[in-house]
Structure 1
Amino acid sequence: MFLRHGLLIPLTRRINGGPGCSSSLGLFMELGPCNIRGPLQSGSNGTEWNPYSWNNKANLFFLDQVQSSTYADYGETISTTEDAAKNVQAFVTIFFETFSKFKGREFHMSGESYGGRYLPVFASEIVDQNSRAAAHGFEPINLKSVLIGNGLTDFKTMWEGYYDIQCKNLSVVPFQDIKTCVSMKQQLHRCLKMYQKDCIEQTDPTGCSLAINFCSSALSEPYRTTGRNPYDMSKPCKGEELESSLCYPITKYINEFLDRPETRKALGVHPSIGNYTGCSEEVGMRFVASLDHYHSNQWYIAGLLERGIKVLIYVGTYDWICNWVGNQKWVMALDWTGSAEFTAQKDRDWIVDGQVAGFTRSANGLTFATVDAAGHMVPYDKPKEALTMLSRWLEGKDL
């Protein structure tokens, strides 16, 4: 946890995705007060100051959101976001009761990637439990907003986005050959029909698994053969790099730093617990087995908006895996009482230091924004723009 002095400074909680991945990536690679940029050098503790940390604007803490991820070993397994939400809500309640000086403080929840699944459910659990808090002697949590970066909120629209982002002149020049794009387009309708029937309209594990396999083969596999980074279409990444470092060598240095004996000792990691793992394959497989990825989460977003919780959806335009096209589709189709005014808005540029940072639209508490030339991890690729965005958001200003 990283604090800024001042009773009016808001509190922001950050999670990363996976499922089962550590928020240490957000901490040491993206927006924490210190970054790890390379291997340990003599005379250095391995970290360097991050001038664009979100800690400049908020009290900030990071949470590994699923038990048994990273160092965690609690003897309990979690395999769905709904189950994880109960633990997260309990943790946040205990946090405010333990650190009572933060009671009543504005609370903002942020995350990226699979956070697009986690955060709508986690935030909704907090809102729902707030109505019961007073009866049990707890002060309600003052949740103000949710910020989701390059999130996986609705897989159905992401399937559509996978075709658009590869075959249309959007973020980058179309890089699939025409023959492949024709095949993808022909199979897209069948994919969406199967997915709608077996993954949304009814819970059919066998049918949904078949739909997912078909959609993945038709729309995801063509990208994986291009040799491009799935988190940044503008960069190459071979399969072995993806497996070993998520296409970012810095992740290896973060793992090494967190596995140093002095780091483990400082963090109070018990010697019986194994090496630090940036992403837990075990946790990921449990969530896959429960088909947790394929729930539609936009209705949680609608519920939050109806109850006055603001929502910011921001997306780096170079990301493929959770691309801006798929995110824009579900945002524009969202059914809530403010939707007519939101869809009537026109996209406009948002500016940082005189330069266009992306486009945005906003109405009735919902904001959608792109970040030009950023990949999956916006604060890593565009730290100044990300901090400016956060600052304006917390201050209640338009981007």
Structure 2
Amino acid sequence: MQFDFSSSSGTKPILKYNPYSWTKVANVIFLDAPVGTGFSYATTDTAYNVSDTSSAAQTYEFLRKWLVSHPSFLANPLYITGDSYSGVVIPIIVKNIQDGIEAGHQPQMNLVGYTLGNPVTCDEKDMSFRIPYANKMALVSDELYETTKTDCNGDFQNVDPTNGACLTDLEMVSLCLEKIFLAQVLEPSCNLISPNHTRLKWSRSILEEDTVNIVSMPHQSRPWCRPANYIYSYIWANDEKVQEALGIRTGTKQEWNRCNHTLSYTKDVLNAVVYHEYLSEKTLRALVYSGDHDLAIPYVATLDWIRSLNLTLEGSWSPWFVEGQIAGYSILYSKNSKYDLTFTTIKGGGHTAPEYKPKQCLAMVDRWFSYYPL
């Protein structure tokens, strides 16, 4: 199901059938993680203290328990999937599962691969590609880009505070980008985005919206902005009848928020590439996709870490089609005839791609799960 935005009012969200749900091609477990997100909760205060690695360990433990309770799914091919910041945690989860398989842990999982969409991998490197991407998208001129690259010695993140020329260049870049919606550069910029988004040290909070602003959105006169639609998820998820239908335990959550800013979360993995290096030695499949209009985690940043894995290139950069139209461009890599990684762009997609291009993303995973070329 999905929200019918055209039929919904500010106080009554209406649902409609989603013809592009991934549940059409797979059995899907939707997991609120880390603990404290969504409707998930802990019974002690200390249990809310989680990190990248501990959250991954908890997810692995959950999967083991779930498969014990649902043994009919044990033979099914298992894929671990996630978007955005899951790009850090998913590879850790996959490694935990792979290690458990090799150690003989029960139940034995039929791990086949993983998918990542617009994935965060290394904050610093991901962000360093925003300016090159902005140049590719004609948001920053060639002249300004080349001058900034020279004056900043190619490092747009760790800037010497005494380098006046670099700082001036970065201010000019910021002026070019301050009204750009980072999640999809062609859509209107919204006040739901962090007010600090004009600085080059952008934080992950650019993808998060403020609860108070969300609730007040319908009372403000402004151009349509995609995050304004998030008000419907807030109203719907906090409806008592909805929570009762979902089986939410009474009293476990005072309020559902799309983004929980109160989490006690430690980012203890600064670069997830090492996990991909490990996984590339195993018999696994990987699908990595990027909306090509995402400035938050640009596709060029994702391609950079993929290329750092020193995989073998299998073919050329090629378009793929949905209903006769180009849906994106893909390329295949492999290693030791055991591991293969497909990277693809989603044409016109933002952060994250399935929200913007659901039909194309369903076709993508349907073909990939079936071992068909995109």
Q: Tell me whether the two structures share a fold, i.e. TM-score over 0.5.
A: yes
- Kindly indicate whether residue 243 of structure 2 is the aligned counterpart of residue 273 of structure 1: no
Q: Which residue, 333, 336, 344 being the options, matches 2:308? A: 333
Closer, same or farther: CA 133–396 of 1 in aligned 2, 3 Å: same
- Kindly indicate whether residue 319 of structure 2 is the aligned counterpart of residue 349 of structure 1: yes
Aligned-partner residue type, residue 355 of structure 2: Y
What's 2:201 paired with?
none
Aligned-partner residue type, residue 390 of structure 1: V
Q: Which residue, 287, 307, 314 being the options, matches 1:312? A: 287
- Kindly indicate whether residue 297 of structure 2 is the aligned counterpart of residue 322 of structure 1: yes
Deviation at 1:224, TM superposition (A): 9.0
Closer, same or farther: CA 185–250 of 1 in aligned 2, 3 Å: farther
Deviation at 1:178, TM superposition (A): 4.9
Deviation at 1:176, TM superposition (A): 6.1
- Kindly indicate whether residue 139 of structure 2 is the aligned counterpart of residue 189 of structure 1: no
Aligned-partner residue type, residue 85 of structure 2: Y
Deviation at 1:306, TM superposition (A): 1.4
- 1:47-70 per-residue CA deviation (whole Å, 9 max, x = no partner) reads 110011111100112001101122
Q: Which residue, 61, 79, 91 being the options, matches 1:120? A: 91
Q: Which residue, 63, 67, 84 being the options, matches 1:96? A: 67
| Pairing 1:284-303 to 2, within 5 Å after superposition | 286-287=264-265, 290-292=266-268, 295-303=270-278
Preserved contact between residue 71 and residue 274 of structure 1 (Cα < 8 Å) = no
Q: Which residue, 183, 187, 195 being the options, matches 1:235? A: 187
Moved over 6 A (4+): none
What's 1:249 paired with?
228
Deviation at 1:185, TM superposition (A): 5.4
Aligned-partner residue type, residue 318 of structure 2: R
Closer, same or farther: CA 218–142 of 1 in aligned 2, 3 Å: farther
For this pair of structures, how many residues does the alignment match?
329
Q: Which residue, 238, 262, 266 being the options, matches 1:259? A: 238
- 1:62-91 per-residue CA deviation (whole Å, 9 max, x = no partner) reads 001101122322021233211111100000
SS in 1 for 2:59: helix
Q: Give unpaired runs (5+ residues) of structure 1.
A: 1-33, 196-213
Preserved contact between residue 229 and residue 247 of structure 1 (Cα < 8 Å) = no
Preserved contact between residue 36 and residue 47 of structure 1 (Cα < 8 Å) = yes
Preserved contact between residue 160 and residue 188 of structure 1 (Cα < 8 Å) = no
Aligned-partner residue type, residue 304 of structure 1: L
Q: Give unpaired runs (5+ residues) of structure 2.
A: 160-165, 194-208, 215-224, 335-339
- 1:297-320 per-residue CA deviation (whole Å, 9 max, x = no partner) reads 122112222111111110000001
- Kindly indicate whether residue 332 of structure 2 is the aligned counterpart of residue 380 of structure 1: no
What's 2:126 paired with?
158
Deviation at 1:225, TM superposition (A): 5.2
- Kindly indicate whether residue 107 of structure 2 is the aligned counterpart of residue 139 of structure 1: yes
CA distance in 2, matches of 1:92, 1:80: 18
CA distance in 2, matches of 1:78, 1:224: 39
Preserved contact between residue 139 and residue 176 of structure 2 (Cα < 8 Å) = no
Preserved contact between residue 227 and residue 239 of structure 1 (Cα < 8 Å) = no
- Kindly indicate whether residue 36 of structure 2 is the aligned counterpart of residue 56 of structure 1: no
CA distance in 2, matches of 1:224, 1:95: 49
- 1:317-361 per-residue CA deviation (whole Å, 9 max, x = no partner) reads 0001111011111111214xxx1x22x642111122221111111
SS in 2 for 1:60: coil
CA distance in 1, matches of 2:286, 2:171: 29
Aligned-partner residue type, residue 61 of structure 1: I
Deviation at 1:160, TM superposition (A): 3.2
CA distance in 1, matches of 2:343, 2:67: 30
Preserved contact between residue 13 and residue 232 of structure 2 (Cα < 8 Å) = no
% of aligned pairs identical? 19
Closer, same or farther: CA 190–371 of 1 in aligned 2, 3 Å: closer
Aligned-partner residue type, residue 352 of structure 1: V
| RMSD, aligned CA | 2.9
Deviation at 1:221, TM superposition (A): 8.3
- Give TM-score, length-normalised by structure 2: 0.79
SS in 2 for 1:145: strand
- Kindly indicate whether residue 345 of structure 2 is the aligned counterpart of residue 370 of structure 1: yes
